[in-house]
A and B are shown apart, each in its own frame.
Chain A
């Protein structure tokens, strides 16, 4: 199975900050990478797929980049609603889908 590793595990930031989260795959997944946001007690919400395509309705302050084995999620200017846990996920069709362990973004 392809292993997905996120860093950092926890990130403290302030409203208005620009932050980035990194996701590394144990082998190349081309651009088959998605990012999700999850708030306590809720299901994950798809933010970005194909590494950089914004899901409909997601604010443009969210962006994704990368290919192969290294990917980034960037939030351009943090808003109060953005404090949550973020997960990456690969969806290479030839391997079981796996998720990263999550990055908790909290208020500094």
Chain B
């Protein structure tokens, strides 16, 4: 059974870069049916899609965040990562990684448990 697990610092200082990783177990990140996504949730902004990556490295970003976001994939480690630069308090949120099925066009049907990231000095 596929499982996703986020990891990374829970506290990031303003203007620094938020870095998270998502480890995939129970399946291969190189499966060409799937895309791997980051989504965040905060009381003020609700659920917000950040971006997506395919195992080949092709990325798709939310235009609202595109200038600050980098998503990368490491197929040897079966994980993908999120970097969000120049963070402010508005980036405080629970960050989720998730999988969607591009072949069957099924949206996010597998999620990590989420990790809270607080932006504060």
A90: nearest chain-B partner, CB-CB: B107
**Interface hits, A53-108 → B, CB 8 Å:** 55, 87, 89, 91, 96-102
A34 to B47, CA, bound (A): 13
Tell yes or no: A46 within 8 A of B by CB. Answer: yes
| A-contacting 9-mer, from B9-17, B72-80, B83-91, B110-118 | B110-118
Number of A residues whose C-beta is below 8 Å from B? 22
User: A43 contacts which of B64, B107, B111 (Cβ < 8 Å)?
Assistant: B111
- The reply to whether A44 and B108 contact each other, CB–CB distance below 8 Å, is yes
A89: nearest chain-B partner, CB-CB: B107
- The reply to whether B112 and A43 contact each other, CB–CB distance below 8 Å, is yes
A102 to B48, CA, bound (A): 12
- The reply to whether A43 and B114 contact each other, CB–CB distance below 8 Å, is yes
Main DSSP-derived SS at the B contact region: strand
Q: Which residues of A contact B (CB under 8 A)?
A: 1, 32, 34, 36, 42-46, 49-50, 55, 87, 89, 91, 96-102
What residues of chain A lie closer than 8 Å to B48, measured between beta carbons?
Answer: 99
Number of B residues whose C-beta is below 8 Å from A? 19
What residues of chain A lie closer than 8 Å to B113, measured between beta carbons?
Answer: 42-43
Tell yes or no: B105 within 8 A of A by CB. Answer: yes
What residues of chain B lie closer than 8 Å to A98, measured between beta carbons?
Answer: 49
CB distance from B32 to the nearest CB of A (A): 17
What residues of chain B lie closer than 8 Å to A99, measured between beta carbons?
Answer: 46-49
User: A96 contacts which of B63, B107, B111 (Cβ < 8 Å)?
Assistant: B63
- The reply to whether A97 and B111 contact each other, CB–CB distance below 8 Å, is no
Sample of 11 more A-B contacts, CB < 8 Å, known A36-B108, A97-B107, A100-B46? A43-B98, A43-B113, A44-B47, A44-B108, A45-B111, A46-B106, A55-B109, A89-B108, A96-B62, A99-B48, A101-B46
